[in-house]
Amino acid sequence: MMQKAASVFQLKLRKWTWLSIGLAVYLLFTAVVFFYYQDDVDQMNWVDREAFNYKLINQYKLTDNLTQDDVMRRLGTPDITEALLQDKDVYQVLYYRTHRSVADGITTADECTALLFKNRKLQAIGEEAVQRYSTISANAN
């Protein structure tokens, strides 16, 4: 009787051991995917991409010294782009859609968040980027 109880206990212990190992492997795999897998913006539908763009752009700070390549590597191709050359400086504003106002299949600047770059370095974000670019382009003409 004692031997049978010990055998049942060993089976339960073995079952819990395998269950614990399986759970640990699952959690490890989930953590690796969560922390190291980069989202592919080209594979996202427009709703997910808007949310992704909004979240990422809101994390950007001008003090981070971000380059245009850094931003495009993470956010992909912008929805709208404008550029100009003034006094040997290249100004480029990239618009990424972050909030759709009309589901008409056309992306407009008012549905985007602007990022202004001077010589490929981030200078301004959002409405400030639009205002500064407008001022620069008005002075260039």
Tens digit of each residue's pLDDT (9 = 90 or more) over 59-105: 999 999 999 999 999 999 999 999 999 989 999 999 999 988 777 77
Which residue's entry shows tokens 């859609």? 97
Tens digit of each residue's pLDDT (9 = 90 or more) over 28-45: 878 777 676 656 777 778
Q: Give me the pLDDT at residue 39, please.
A: 64
The angle formed by the CA atoms of residues 124, 125 and 129, to the nearest 5 degrees, is 60
CATH value of 42-140 in 3.30.1450.10, 3.90.1150.10, 3.50.50.60, 3.40.50.620: 3.30.1450.10
Q: Is the pLDDT of residue 5 over 70?
A: no
Distance, CA of 112 to CA of 77 (rounded, Å): 13
Q: Of 11-25, 51-65, 123-137, where does mean pLDDT reach its minimum?
A: 11-25
Q: Give me the pLDDT at residue 1, please.
A: 54
* pTM of the predicted model over 0.75: no
Q: Give me the pLDDT at residue 105, please.
A: 76
50: which residues sit within 8 A by CB, 6+ positions away?
A: 97, 98, 99, 100
* pLDDT (average), residues 105-133: 94
Q: Is the pLDDT of residue 2 over 60?
A: no
Count the neighbouring beta carbons within 10 Å of the beta carbon of residue 126: 16
Tens digit of each residue's pLDDT (9 = 90 or more) over 18-28: 888 888 888 88
